Amino acid sequence: MLTAIVIFLALAADSSPDPITIAFTKVQADLTALAAAQADVARLAQAQEKAKVAAKSLADDQATLNQAIQAAANPPPAPVVPPAATHVIEVLEIGATSCGPCNAMDAILKTLVAEGMPIKRINTDLDAALVDRWQIKGTPTFVMLVDAKEVSRSIGALDVGQLRSWYKATQDWSRKLKGESP
């Protein structure tokens, strides 16, 4: 269409255009169309690169999600380190207000606290030094303490049954070490 307009304008300017002028005008129009096509190819290449980056990010997110699911499906084992003499058991929940799984755990943790489980919640948004102190790799992280010493940990959200089982296993282990029956 552009070629036809250029040819028409050339004919209107000179009632007898020579074939070289017409051919030159057609070549100019074709070069303009080629430049537009090359720009489209460049935009397509950029879009493909962005799609590759998005696919990689999605794959990374999927891997992180799979790790969290695996951690939740396999609760941590009962502790195996020797306890101190008093055997005070506490559970630390280390999370962040920006963490969706941490926020989803609110109702579960409130239920367990109401049942008497000693749970302390630590917000890493308020004290970033805690991330280094507790070597946090992901949130939420649950740390089981006996006499203020870590005996086991779990990374990722846990359901109420998993937390109860883990706490009971730690209590049984502590009683056994003290010579009491679980």
- Domain of 126, CATH number, reads 3.40.30.10
**91 and 169 inside one domain:** yes
Contact call for residues 171 and 164 (beta carbons, < 8 A): no
Shared domain for 62 and 95, answered yes or no, is no
Cα distances from 177 to residues 77, 100, 146, 163, 168, in angstroms, run 16, 38, 12, 21, 14
pLDDT at 111: 92
Domain count, the chain: 2
pLDDT score, position 83: 47
- 47 shares a domain with 26: yes
Residues 83 and 63 in one domain: no
Query: CA 101, CA 79: separation in Å to the nearest integer?
Result: 25
Do 67 and 89 lie in one domain? The reply is no
Asked if the peptide bond before residue 140 counts as cis, ω within 30 degrees of 0, the response is yes
Looking at the fold, whether 67 and 11 belong to one and the same domain comes out as yes
Whether residue 67 contacts residue 156, with contact meaning beta carbons closer than 8 Å, is answered with yes
At 119, list the tokens.
């749970």
Residue 113 pLDDT:
92
Residues 89, 114, single domain; the answer is: yes
93 with 66, same domain: the answer is: no
Question: Domain boundary residue among 50, 72, 94?
Answer: 72
Q: What is the pLDDT along the chain (182 residues), one digit of tens a residue?
A: 555 555 555 555 555 567 777 777 787 887 788 888 888 888 888 888 888 887 787 777 777 777 766 766 666 666 655 544 557 889 999 998 888 998 989 899 999 999 999 999 988 888 778 788 888 888 999 999 988 888 899 999 999 999 999 999 988 888 777 776 65
Q: Are residues 25 and 110 in the same domain?
A: no
Q: Is 98 in the same domain as 67?
A: no
Do residues 101 and 107 touch, judged by C-beta distance below 8 A?
Answer: no
pLDDT score recorded for residue 5: 55
Residues 88, 146 contacting (CB under 8 angstroms): yes
Which amino acid is located at 33 in the chain? A
Q: Are 141 and 95 in contact (CB under 8 A)?
A: yes
The span from the CA of 159 to the CA of 56, in Å, is 30
Question: Which pLDDT score is estimated for 173?
Answer: 83
Q: Which domain holds residue 148?
A: 76-178
What pLDDT, on the 0 to 100 scale, is given for residue 8?
56
